[in-house]
Structure 1
Amino acid sequence: MKWGVQGMRSKTSSFNKEIIKQDFRNVGWISIVYFLGLFFIVPMQLFMEMSKEEPSIPDDRGLFGSIFAYELQLFFLFIMPLLMAVFLFRYLHVKGASDFAHSFPMKRGKLYQHHIVSGVILLILPILLNYLILIITAGAVDVQDYYTVTNLGYWLWLFSTMTLLIFMVGVFVGTLTGLSAVQGILTYILLFLPAGLYVLIAFHLSSYIKGYSGDVVLERSIQYFSPLVDLVEFQRYAPDPAEVPVEKLPLIIYGLVAAAFYVLSLFLYKKRSLESAGRALAVTALNPVFKVGVTFCFALFGGMYFTVSQNEYSWMIMGYFIGGTFGYAAASMLLEKTWRVFNWRHLKGWFGYGAVTCALIAIIPFLWQNYESYVPKSSEVEKVFVSNGYWQYQRMVDEEMEIPFITSVESIQSTIDLHEQLIEVSNPLEDGRDSFFFVYRMEDGSEIYRQYRVDEQEVAEAKKAVYETEEYKKIEYPVLGLDPDKVNRLHIGSYSGQGGKEFYDPELIAGFVEVLKEDIEGISYEDMVTPRGLYSNVHFTVNGNPDNPFHVQLHPSFERTMGWLKEKGFYEEAMTLPADIHRADVYRWPENRDFSNNHVRLIVERLKEEGIEPLEFTSDEKIGSLMKGQQNQEDGAYIVAFYFDERNSDHYEVLSFGKEDAPDFIKEHFE
Structure 2
Amino acid sequence: MRSKLFSFNRGIFIQDLRSVGWISIVYFLTLLFTGPLDLYNIITEENFIEEKSQSLFDLSRDIYTIAIFTVPVLLGLLLFRYMQTKLSADYIHSLPIKRESLYNQRIITGVVLLILPVFLTGIVFYVIGVNYKLMYITTPAHIWSWIGLTILFLLFVFMATVFVGIFTGITMVQGALTYILFLLPVGITSIVAINAASLIKGIALDYYLDGTLTRDALPFARVGLLGQGTVSPTVLITYSSLVVIFYVIGLIAYKKRAIEMSSRAISFQFFQPVFKYGVMACFTLLGGAYFGLSQNNKLGWFLFGYVIGSIVGYVVAEVVLQKTWRIGFRWKGYVGFAVVAALFFAIISLDILGIEKKVPDLKNVKKVYVGEDLYTLKAIDNGDEAIGDDRSMVAYTDPTILKHIEQLHKKLIKEASLQRGHGVFDTIGIAYELKGGGRIVRLYNIPRHLFDEDMKPLVDSREYKEKMYPVYALSDKSISTIRSIEIQSNLVEKRPVYITERTKIEEFVHLLQEEIQKQKATDVLTDKVDLSSINISITDRNQLPMTLEVYYKEIEKWLQKEGLADQALTTATDFESATILPKYDQDVRESSYNMSRAEFNEYLAEQPKVKTTRDEKQIQKLLENSEYDVYDGRDYQTIVFLPKKAGQTIQVYDVPKESMKKLIK
TM-score band, normalised by shorter chain: 0.7 to 0.9
Aligned match for 2:37, one of 39, 44, 62: 44
Counterpart-to-counterpart distance in 2, 1:413 and 1:117: 64
**1:205 and 2:179 equivalent?**
no
Match of 2:304 in 1: 318
**1:353 and 2:340 equivalent?**
no
**1:458 and 2:450 equivalent?**
yes
Aligned match for 2:580, one of 586, 591, 601: 586
Match of 1:595 in 2: none
Match of 2:15 in 1: 22
Aligned match for 1:301, one of 265, 282, 286: 286
CA deviations 1:245-288 (Å, max 9, x no partner) are x3123212211221111111111112222222222111122121
**1:112 and 2:97 equivalent?**
no
Match of 2:406 in 1: 416
Match of 1:162 in 2: 153
2:366 partner SS: strand
Residue type matched to 2:520 in 1?
S
Match of 1:562 in 2: 556
Aligned residues of 1:386 and 1:475 also touching (Cα < 8 A): no
State the shift of 1:524 in Å: 0.4
Match of 1:526 in 2: 522
Counterpart-to-counterpart distance in 2, 1:602 and 1:538: 32
**1:55 and 2:41 equivalent?**
no
Aligned residues of 1:209 and 1:428 also touching (Cα < 8 A): no
Counterpart-to-counterpart distance in 2, 1:210 and 1:84: 48
State the shift of 1:517 in Å: 2.8
Match of 1:146 in 2: 137
Match of 1:383 in 2: 367
- What is the 5 A alignment of 1:232-243? 234=225, 243=229
State the shift of 1:651 in Å: 5.2
State the shift of 1:20 in Å: 1.6
Residue type matched to 1:378 in 2?
L
Match of 1:373 in 2: 357
Aligned residues of 2:368 and 2:397 also touching (Cα < 8 A): yes
State the shift of 1:196 in Å: 0.8
- What is the 5 A alignment of 1:429-440? 429-431=419-421, 433=423, 434-440=426-432
Moved more, 279-288 or 388-397: 388-397
> Using a 3 Å threshold, how does the CA distance of structure 1 residues 285 and 364 change in structure 2: closer, same or farther?
farther
Gap runs ≥5 in structure 2: 388-393, 592-602
> Using a 3 Å threshold, how does the CA distance of structure 1 residues 378 and 500 change in structure 2: closer, same or farther?
farther
2:94 partner SS: coil
Residue type matched to 2:174 in 1?
Q
State the shift of 1:118 in Å: 0.6
**1:662 and 2:662 equivalent?**
yes
**1:282 and 2:267 equivalent?**
yes
Aligned residues of 2:197 and 2:203 also touching (Cα < 8 A): yes
CA deviations 1:503-550 (Å, max 9, x no partner) are 37363655544433322222101110126565324445664338x7x4
Match of 2:167 in 1: 176
> Using a 3 Å threshold, how does the CA distance of structure 1 residues 38 and 580 change in structure 2: closer, same or farther?
farther
- What is the 5 A alignment of 1:532-611? 535-539=531-535, 543-545=539-541, 550-581=544-575, 583-588=577-582
> Using a 3 Å threshold, how does the CA distance of structure 1 residues 235 and 73 change in structure 2: closer, same or farther?
closer
Moved more, 298-307 or 190-199: 298-307
Residue type matched to 1:17 in 2?
R
Counterpart-to-counterpart distance in 1, 2:480 and 2:294: 49
Counting matched residue pairs gives: 635
Match of 2:638 in 1: 640
CA deviations 1:333-358 (Å, max 9, x no partner) are 111111223x4x34554434333344
State the shift of 1:119 in Å: 0.3
State the shift of 1:93 in Å: 1.5
Match of 1:272 in 2: 257
Counterpart-to-counterpart distance in 2, 1:485 and 1:76: 57
Counterpart-to-counterpart distance in 1, 2:243 and 2:316: 30
Counterpart-to-counterpart distance in 1, 2:46 and 2:501: 41
**1:471 and 2:463 equivalent?**
yes
**1:494 and 2:489 equivalent?**
yes
> Using a 3 Å threshold, how does the CA distance of structure 1 residues 511 and 309 change in structure 2: closer, same or farther?
farther
Counterpart-to-counterpart distance in 1, 2:459 and 2:74: 58
Moved more, 576-585 or 39-48: 576-585
Counterpart-to-counterpart distance in 2, 1:56 and 1:161: 31
Give aligned-pair identity as a percent.
30
> Using a 3 Å threshold, how does the CA distance of structure 1 residues 614 and 15 change in structure 2: closer, same or farther?
farther
Moved more, 629-638 or 105-114: 629-638
Aligned residues of 1:295 and 1:354 also touching (Cα < 8 A): no
Aligned match for 1:626, one of 615, 622, 628: 622
State the shift of 1:602 in Å: 9.3
Aligned residues of 2:433 and 2:440 also touching (Cα < 8 A): yes
**1:340 and 2:326 equivalent?**
yes
Counterpart-to-counterpart distance in 1, 2:610 and 2:86: 81
- What is the 5 A alignment of 1:118-133? 118-133=109-124
Please, what is the CA RMSD of the aligned residues? 3.3
Aligned residues of 2:2 and 2:8 also touching (Cα < 8 A): no
Aligned residues of 2:404 and 2:454 also touching (Cα < 8 A): yes
> Using a 3 Å threshold, how does the CA distance of structure 1 residues 366 and 173 change in structure 2: closer, same or farther?
farther
State the shift of 1:386 in Å: 1.7
CA deviations 1:587-621 (Å, max 9, x no partner) are 4458xxxxxxxxx9699889x99x96352315143
State the shift of 1:95 in Å: 2.4
Counterpart-to-counterpart distance in 2, 1:660 and 1:10: 92
Aligned match for 1:480, one of 469, 472, 478: 472
> Using a 3 Å threshold, how does the CA distance of structure 1 residues 9 and 110 change in structure 2: closer, same or farther?
closer
Counterpart-to-counterpart distance in 2, 1:652 and 1:432: 18
State the shift of 1:175 in Å: 0.9
Residue type matched to 1:63 in 2?
L
Moved more, 194-203 or 615-624: 615-624
> Using a 3 Å threshold, how does the CA distance of structure 1 residues 516 and 9 change in structure 2: closer, same or farther?
closer
State the shift of 1:457 in Å: 3.8
Counterpart-to-counterpart distance in 1, 2:335 and 2:130: 67
Aligned match for 1:427, one of 417, 424, 428: 417
- What is the 5 A alignment of 1:209-224? 209-219=200-210, 221-223=212-214
Counterpart-to-counterpart distance in 1, 2:6 and 2:462: 81
State the shift of 1:485 in Å: 6.0
State the shift of 1:59 in Å: 5.2
> Using a 3 Å threshold, how does the CA distance of structure 1 residues 478 and 374 change in structure 2: closer, same or farther?
farther
Match of 2:600 in 1: none
2:48 partner SS: coil
CA deviations 1:362-401 (Å, max 9, x no partner) are 4455677433222222222222222111124444665824
Aligned residues of 1:387 and 1:476 also touching (Cα < 8 A): no
> Using a 3 Å threshold, how does the CA distance of structure 1 residues 499 and 399 change in structure 2: closer, same or farther?
farther
State the shift of 1:579 in Å: 4.2
CA deviations 1:131-187 (Å, max 9, x no partner) are 222234444443233354323322222111111111111001111111111111101
Residue type matched to 2:655 in 1?
L
> Using a 3 Å threshold, how does the CA distance of structure 1 residues 176 and 629 change in structure 2: closer, same or farther?
same
CA deviations 1:434-488 (Å, max 9, x no partner) are 2212232222233322221212443232211211112122233344346556666
Counterpart-to-counterpart distance in 1, 2:6 and 2:300: 67
